[in-house]
Amino acid sequence: MSKRNKLQKFAEILSFPNVLENIDPAVPVLTRNQSEQVMLNGRWNQDQFPANHPITLELACGRGEYTLGMAEMYPERNFIGVDVKGARIWRGAKNALDKQLSNAAFLRTRIEQIQLFFAPGEISEIWITFPDPFLKNTKTNRRLTSHRFLSAYRQLLKEGGLMHLKTDSDELYQFSLESLAAYPGVELLYHNPDIYAEPLVLPELAIKTYYERMHLAEEKTIKYIQWSLS
């Protein structure tokens, strides 16, 4: 993608009503519609979505395929895709506007800051879809299923809130199982190192991201873990 094209997309998403961005990580204020500044902690259902429904986050959402797919699948729920890369979010946000999916929104920020933008217990469910596995041993704390992130998710989730990981990485899959086993309050509900080897346990698992299609073309197996946090 050309630099000019990226800059054009960055400019466009600033005007999208379904995209919110954080400019200063020291201040949990979000910008919407180019200049409107809002603080949505505890108010996402009142001030962003037209209906008060359970909220699901998709972390490392990329182009937002899961956010859009689940928003279409479950109109009685609200969905927020989170990623730091604006050019990727642009695609998901534009598709949501084109499809008039009022229950889908996007938050552009670093996932390390996610707890700044939601009230405790505001989130019902979290999906982590094909995140960077950070394979170097020196970067294990950047993996989205490491204990530092699990602690952040616990703040956001309702009691017993569900979490899901979908990945092609054998290393991240095994690391995640070990991390969850060592973290207090985790109930491991299901895990499978090859979800397409048998009937899918959830209809959402049939949604395929851009990266998943690439992994399947390379004959990689897709892994899945589901757990709850209390």
- Catalytic residue positions, numbered: 132
CB-based contact 92:65 (threshold 8 Å): yes
Closest CA to 81 of 131, 34, 33: 131
Exposure string (b/e) for 83-107, b if CB count within 10 Å is 16 or more? bbebbbbbbbbbbbeeeebbbbbbb
**Cβ atoms within 10 A of the Cβ of 191, count?**
16
Phi-psi category of residue 60: left, alpha or beta, with phi > 0 → left and psi -120 to 50 → alpha: left
Secondary element (H or E) of residue 30: strand 30-32
**Cβ atoms within 10 A of the Cβ of 108, count?**
24
- Burial label for 205, CB within 10 Å (0-12, 13-18, 19+), is middle
